[in-house]
Amino acid sequence: MQFTINGETHDVEPDIRASLLDVLREHVGLTGTKKGCDHGQCGACTVLVNGRRINSCLTLAVMHQDDDILTIEGLGSADNLHPMQAAFVKHDGYQCGYCTPGQICSAVGMLDEVKKGWPSHVSDKLDSVSLSNDEISERMSGNLCRCSAYPNIVDAISEVSGLTPAQKEAADA
């Protein structure tokens, strides 16, 4: 079967029991995506599939024929960081770093959801969503961080979201 990872086409023959996470880590050699629980409980394995954030431990690799998969390595590299990655460094949005790739992929996916107007549990209105610290915290609560960099993660995401005019507009509305 075939799928695209970080813009590159990969031909793989995964074990039908293999999760997307294990294929990324053990077969493709992309270990930036982390395994924290293997049960969809911690979010460390978050990647973007066709632009949407998912727990890669909860999906079998064989379900992803022709899918477009973006992992932390595809978002940016150490010497060419994505704005979200740079903001995590600046705001110390991590400590041990193990949940971090998942947090960052999740944050990127989350901002896109807000942009599309998807409400969350804490949204005041269902038809007009604006970003706030409460919204960020709520929407990022599927990504555990035991070092507990949460306040810094919120600051990092808040800064990046502020860079997008559409986000600012939504927040002011």
Partner 1 sequence: MSTTNALKMDKPVPDSLLDTSTQGIIGKPLDRKEGPLKVSGAATYAAEYQIENLAYGVLVGAPFGKGKITGIDSDVAKALPGVIDVVTDFDKFLTTPAQGLAPKAPQGVENVQYFGEIVAIVLAESFEAARDAAQQVVINHEAADDGRYDFEALKGEAEKPAKGDIPSHFSQGDLDKAMTDAPVTLDVTFTTPSQNSAAMEPHASIATWDDSGMLTLHGSYQMPGNDVEQLAAALGVSKSKVRIVARYVGGGFGSKLGIAPESVAAALAAKALGRPVKAVMARQQVFDATVRRSNTEQRIRLAATADGKLTAMGHETLTSNLPDDDYFEPTGQATHFMYAAENREINHDIVRLDWLLSGSMRAPGEAVGMLALEGAMDELAEKLGIDPIEFRKINEPEMDPEKGVPHSSRELVRCMDVGATSFGWDKRNATPGTRREGEWLVGIGMAAAARANMLQPSEARVTLSATGRATVETDMTDIGTGTYTILGQIAGEVLGLPLEHVDVELGDTNFPTAAGSGGSFGAGSSGTSVYLAAEAIREKIAKAMGVDVDALTLKDGHAVADNRRVPLGELAGEGIVAIGSIKPGKQEKEKTQSSYGAHFAEVGVNAVTGEVRVRRMLGVFAAGRILNAKTARSQCLGGMTFGIGTALTEDLIHDPRNGKLVNRDLAEYHLPVNADVPQLEVEFLEERDIHANPMHAKGIGELGISGAGAAIANAVYNATGIRVRDYPLTLDKILEGLPEL
Residue ranges in contact with partner 1 by CB under 8 A: 15, 17-18, 22, 25-26, 29-39, 41-42, 44, 71-73, 75-79, 81, 85-86, 88-90, 92, 94-101, 104, 122, 133-134, 136-138, 140-155
Distance between first and last Cα of the chain: 46
The answer to whether the Cα torsion of 120, 122, 126, 130 is positive or negative is negative
Q: Is the CB of 19 or the CB of 167 nearer to partner 1?
A: 19
164: phi then psi, degrees, rounded to nearest 5: -95, 120
Angle between helices 100-115 and 165-172 (to 10 degrees): 60
The DSSP bridge pattern shows strands 46-49 and 8-11 to be unpaired
Q: Is the CB of 39 or the CB of 116 nearer to partner 1?
A: 39
Q: Is the CB of 59 or the CB of 100 nearer to partner 1?
A: 100
Q: Is the CB of 148 or the CB of 166 nearer to partner 1?
A: 148
Nearest approach, Cβ of residue 141 and partner 1 (Å) = 4
DSSP state of 36: S
* Token pair of 95 as six digits: 């400590």
Give the C-alpha separation, 36 to 96, whole Å: 13
Nearest approach, Cβ of residue 88 and partner 1 (Å) = 5
* Token pair of 149 as six digits: 């960099």
Q: What angle do CA 5, 92, 53 make, to 5 degrees?
A: 30
Nearest approach, Cβ of residue 46 and partner 1 (Å) = 12
Nearest approach, Cβ of residue 142 and partner 1 (Å) = 8
Nearest approach, Cβ of residue 3 and partner 1 (Å) = 18
Q: Is the CB of 3 or the CB of 135 nearer to partner 1?
A: 135
